[in-house]
Amino acid sequence: MSGRDRDRLKVLHEVRRRHITQQQAGAELGISSRWVRALLKRMKFEGDRAVVHRLRGRPSNRKLPAWMKQRALMLFRQHKQAKQWHDYGPTLAAEELVSEHGLKVGKETLRKWLTEAGLWKVRRARVERVHSWRARRARWGELLQWDTSEHDWLEGRSREALYLIAMIDDASSRALARFVRHDSTEENLRLLRSYLEKYGRPLAFYTDKASLFQTAPKAAHHRDAPGAQPTQIGRALAELNIEWIAAHSPQAKGRIERFFGTAQDRLVKGLRKVRAHTVEEANAYLEKIYLPMWNQRFICEPRQAGDAHRALDTKTDLDSVLSRVEPRTLAQDYTVRWQAGVYQIHRPDISGGMRGARVAIEQRLDGSVWMRWQKRRIPLERCLAPSPKNYQVVPLALPLPAKAKCSAEERAQRHMEAQRRSAAIFQSLPSRPLWQILRDPSS
């Protein structure tokens, strides 16, 4: 008999002795007076044992059958040996048992079964550093967390590395993500364009202090010091009138970090299940299966109704805003140098005051190059390099003919002939010295 049963028995004895009424006993025990009369009636036939619950020691009516436990453990062992569920936990394994095999087993029940069978080890909770808690934003679109995760998403099925760029709403946890081959400015701008076209302009973005979002000034040690030049993404956000907020620690943007933690578990196993090998297949699974599942199961209702997103202005040119922009000087022949190439302005677009002016060159996401000058956007055309002419290559010196081999007799005969020619030359010279001949040429 438990302590609760002994306390109940004491109150029932007080009722039998007429020390308290049945209504007072029901109020003290938290039951109705009718149930008090039923317990007093049982005590007449069963004694003090009547207060003990009659199902004690008997299996619960809601207990799952033994065959279901055996089948769940058998399936878990089979998938684990086949290297399919070797890294599955009880939560994801319970979902797979329901979706694939029709076994409706709770995650905690399966955790208990796996622990008893030695297939799962209970992990102790890590003691982490305590950080101050920040409440969610009130409305959808007030603040979005933006980050990139580098992970072996395809588990070695592809030689190229993949990066997951994601944005998650702080108020509702609604997410948008995409796999890319490089964590570059262009790929981040493409994801930003997708979000802007789908939902509109949010009030602020919350990111880390990576070089994609902030550059440190050369003359200051602190990254928040004045004088830091904006990056291409920072310039684009400023032109769109979107605030940028820097996080000082990974814990500050914990919502996007937890999104990546879940993706590195569930998304990796989903890509393994569909056998994705390329970035196109990974993005197809991400957009059609994983993100709809996330936005259906893991989002929450914001504290305030409404949408904080702002519509894009009809005059806003996203192709121009979401591009790489750098300053250049226009040459006297209306050309400008960009990325080891020379670009020319079309003749109809030329106007006075352009030569020698300071302009801004923008390279758009589609690869085209444009020029900003006095609130104008002017397309540029790359000048073709001069084709090399077919010059005839003339050697600097003619090759000498190869010397023919001769015998010893021929060499002796050539030597004697050379001596005779030398003797004839000396005999033809005048008898007097050359200085006398030059002094008196008449003689």
CATH number assigned to the domain comprising residue 250: 3.30.420.10
3-state secondary structure 155-223: CCCCCCCCEEEEEEECCCCCEEEEEECCCCHHHHHHHHHHHHHHCCECCEEEECCCCCCCCCCCCCCCC
**Residue 373, strand partner residues:** 376
- pLDDT at residue 127 greater than cutoff 70: no
Same domain, 47 and 74: no
Q: Give mean pLDDT, residues 364-376.
A: 91
- pLDDT at residue 220 greater than cutoff 50: no
Same domain, 180 and 74: no
Contact 368, 379 (CB under 8 A): yes
Identify the CA nearest to 114 among candidates 104, 103, 122. Answer: 122
Q: Which two tokens mark 219?
A: 């003359």
- pLDDT at residue 219 greater than cutoff 60: no
Regarding predicted confidence, which is higher, 160 or 435? 160
- pLDDT at residue 118 greater than cutoff 60: yes
Identify the CA nearest to 237 among candidates 275, 188, 204. Answer: 204
Strand pairing class (369-373; 358-363):
antiparallel
How many angstroms separate the CA atoms of 139 and 113, rounded? 42
Same domain, 284 and 153: yes
User: Which residue, of 364, 382, 400, is where some domain finishes?
Assistant: 382
Query: What confidence category does residue 158 fall into, taking pLDDT thresholds of 50, 70 and 90?
Result: confident
Same domain, 357 and 280: no
In a domain, 178, yes or no: yes
Same domain, 154 and 288: yes
Residue 252's contacts (CB-CB under 8 Å, 6 or more residues apart) are 131, 134, 206
Mean pLDDT of the chain: 85
In a domain, 416, yes or no: no
Residue 242's contacts (CB-CB under 8 Å, 6 or more residues apart) are 201, 202, 203, 204, 205
Reported for 46-51, long-range contacts at CB under 8 A and 24+ positions apart, including other chains, are 48/1, 48/9, 51/1, 51/5, 51/8, 51/9, 51/12
CA end-to-end span of the chain = 162
Contact 336, 361 (CB under 8 A): yes
Predicted confidence (pLDDT) per residue in 2-14, tens digit: 778 888 888 888 8
Identify the CA nearest to 11 among candidates 40, 38, 53, 46. Answer: 40
- pLDDT at residue 200 greater than cutoff 90: yes
Same domain, 47 and 95: no
How many angstroms separate the CA atoms of 241 and 261, rounded? 31
Contact 276, 164 (CB under 8 A): no
In a domain, 245, yes or no: yes
User: Which residue, of 382, 399, 432, is where some domain finishes?
Assistant: 382
Predicted confidence (pLDDT) per residue in 380-413, tens digit: 999 886 656 555 555 555 565 666 667 778 888 8
In a domain, 312, yes or no: no
The residue written with tokens 């250049």 in the block is: 328
- pLDDT at residue 226 greater than cutoff 70: no
Q: What is the pLDDT of residue 84?
A: 84
Q: What is the pLDDT of residue 394?
A: 56
For the beta carbon of residue 416, count every other beta carbon within 10 angstroms.
Answer: 8
Same domain, 253 and 335: no
Same domain, 237 and 179: yes
Same domain, 273 and 158: yes
Regarding predicted confidence, which is higher, 66 or 225? 66
Q: Give mean pLDDT, residues 36-53.
A: 84
> CA separation (Å) from 185 to 43, 180, 195, 325?
80, 11, 15, 12
How many angstroms separate the CA atoms of 377 and 375, rounded? 7
Query: What confidence category does residue 125 fall into, taking pLDDT thresholds of 50, 70 and 90?
Result: low
Orientation of helix 232-239 relative to helix 185-198, angle to 10° = 20
Among 118-122, 235-239, 300-304, 406-410, the minimum mean pLDDT is found in 406-410
Q: What is the pLDDT of residue 280?
A: 95
Counted domains in the chain = 4
How many angstroms separate the CA atoms of 361 and 338, rounded? 8
Same domain, 249 and 177: yes
Query: What confidence category does residue 437 fall into, taking pLDDT thresholds of 50, 70 and 90?
Result: low
Same domain, 207 and 102: no
Identify the CA nearest to 267 among candidates 180, 151, 94. Answer: 151
Name the residue range of residue 111's domain. Answer: 66-116
Q: For the chain, what percent of residues have pLDDT higher than 90?
A: 45
Q: What is the pLDDT of residue 393?
A: 56
Q: What is the pLDDT of residue 190?
A: 95
How many angstroms separate the CA atoms of 421 and 414, rounded? 11
Q: Give mean pLDDT, residues 276-281.
A: 94
Which of helix, strand or coil describes residue 379?
strand
Predicted confidence (pLDDT) per residue in 167-178, tens digit: 999 999 999 999
Same domain, 47 and 77: no
Q: Give mean pLDDT, residues 320-335.
A: 92
In a domain, 131, yes or no: no
Report how many helices (DSSP H) and strands (DSSP E) the chain contains, helices first.
15, 11
Regarding predicted confidence, which is higher, 421 or 312? 312
In a domain, 427, yes or no: no
Q: What is the pLDDT of residue 237?
A: 94
- pLDDT at residue 419 greater than cutoff 70: yes
- pLDDT at residue 274 greater than cutoff 80: yes
Q: Give mean pLDDT, residues 301-317.
A: 90
In a domain, 130, yes or no: no
User: Which residue, of 333, 351, 382, is where some domain finishes?
Assistant: 382
In a domain, 263, yes or no: yes
Query: What confidence category does residue 144 fall into, taking pLDDT thresholds of 50, 70 and 90?
Result: very high
Query: What confidence category does residue 121 fall into, taking pLDDT thresholds of 50, 70 and 90?
Result: confident
Residue 342's contacts (CB-CB under 8 Å, 6 or more residues apart) are 335, 336, 382, 383
Q: What is the pLDDT of residue 404?
A: 64
